[in-house]
Structure 1
């Protein structure tokens, strides 16, 4: 059973982003933007804030790879706009209610072009009506031997890739159980909505992933949340992928499903090791 929160307290914190050049956004030392791409959206961060408190936002701005740019101009940086705020959502209609802006994340652009730009801010979350365990008790993976850690993370990804490629939605559901349970909490789902989401995710693996997963390749190990989370991400730019151009998959999760006709989607998994355990658990995406 999921504890139900009164609608007026179902607060979602978010980062609003408008950028015509590639940006990557981090919250609580976790990459929360989907990929290295221009953005014109609001990114929910409830899933990466386990409780009320102070958090860091970091934004990186990069040159436009498909244009062949090697630097970012001060004008491009100044054209980007970011802010931190919150809202509530009508789950029946999807409408955004009671939007608030707490911080305009103003950029301090340099005076000359740079290879990339980075800036950080501290923000505070005060009104979450829940507290999640998440990865808070996880082992510090940064203290492990990097080669051994990468070997184990790759092995886990290979196992998950095989499950997805077999279309085994039930096994995928078992492996993502903790993630689904905590997602229901921070997304304010009721029990029926949670069960529907789990069923749909299970069915989609059988429908879309069977025989469609690309090989696990061109990856690099990434650690987030001050060393408590690990994943694999694609490390090189692409100009096109699976008959879609332009499509740059640099920074995507290494588990990638081809689209039926063109394009692709990734199944990013963030892993943590509980205390006194050698078995990774999928906790976020």
Structure 2
């Protein structure tokens, strides 16, 4: 469905009643893992402009996994995805007033997954078409990392993550923001950040680092590598599916650890990895 928005803002409203992942354009945009998935679920809007990069048709995949401590998906587990677009240009409240569904909802079979089949994973998928007023300089033309030997790639990625871990452990927010500037620049264009919004983004990071929280230890044998973005992006993730980089929660009884999702790419073969 076409729109006449000056600054279209695309999002997916997710409802996860299980562990799961959400991919757009073969890029992970949301995940829900760890002990927080034992009961209840996750709901909320996931902005996706930064994963789309330009106008076109894109595959969206919702991947269901068993809840924490379960081995298979049960018939009670669920996932649904709604697709929204809104106008970001205008006074406060414009997005809420203009938001509409541009694509039909997708969800797991309406009567639940069969209780007679033990699903270790279940996918729901669709194709969406979007119109954007920009072409972002993302990872489209970056090095195809899937062609590298996995062991060598893992060592490179771990070395970068370890560098970032030390920056976070020392609560050096300035260095963290410097290492993240390529990603920030892309997000600023994708989501039409005003100067006020840019300042707010940096202030949020400073507030998190300012708490001087402890890092959750990151051990090499407790991590696995994920290549995505049609081979152009890579990340490390813990074996339980949670992020490799995270601060310990200041209130563990009521809140989960503070996770940092980091994707890397190589602009060209001569350049090292960088956050995107």
The answer to whether 1:170 aligns with 2:163 is: no
For residue 58 of structure 1, the aligned residue among 58, 61, 64 is: 61
TM (normalized to structure 2)? 0.83
Pairwise CA distance, 1:25: 1.2
Match of 2:153 in 1: 149
Match of 1:120 in 2: 125
Segment of structure 1 superposing worse, 47-56 or 14-23: 14-23
Looking at structure 2, the residues matched to 136 and 272 of structure 1 have their Cα atoms a distance apart, in angstroms, of: 10
Partner secondary structure for residue 186 of structure 2? helix
Counterpart mapping for 1:180-195 below 5 A: 180-195=184-199
Looking at structure 1, the residues matched to 269 and 155 of structure 2 have their Cα atoms a distance apart, in angstroms, of: 19
Gap regions ≥5 residues in structure 2 = none
* RMSD (Å) for aligned C-alpha atoms: 2.4
Counterpart mapping for 1:89-100 below 5 A: 89=88, 92=92, 96-100=96-100
For residue 279 of structure 1, the aligned residue among 261, 272, 275 is: 272
Match of 1:257 in 2: 247
Match of 2:17 in 1: 20
Match of 1:214 in 2: 216
Q: Is the 8 A contact 2:13 2:46 kept in 1?
A: yes
Q: Is the 8 A contact 2:213 2:248 kept in 1?
A: no
Q: Is the 8 A contact 1:252 1:268 kept in 2?
A: no
Segment of structure 1 superposing worse, 33-42 or 140-149: 33-42
Gap regions ≥5 residues in structure 1 = 1-6, 237-250
TM (normalized to structure 1)? 0.81
Q: Is the 8 A contact 2:107 2:124 kept in 1?
A: no
Pairwise CA distance, 1:278: 3.2
Partner secondary structure for residue 84 of structure 2? strand
Counterpart mapping for 1:1-80 below 5 A: 8-36=5-33, 37=37, 38-66=41-69, 69-73=70-74, 75-76=75-76, 79-80=78-79
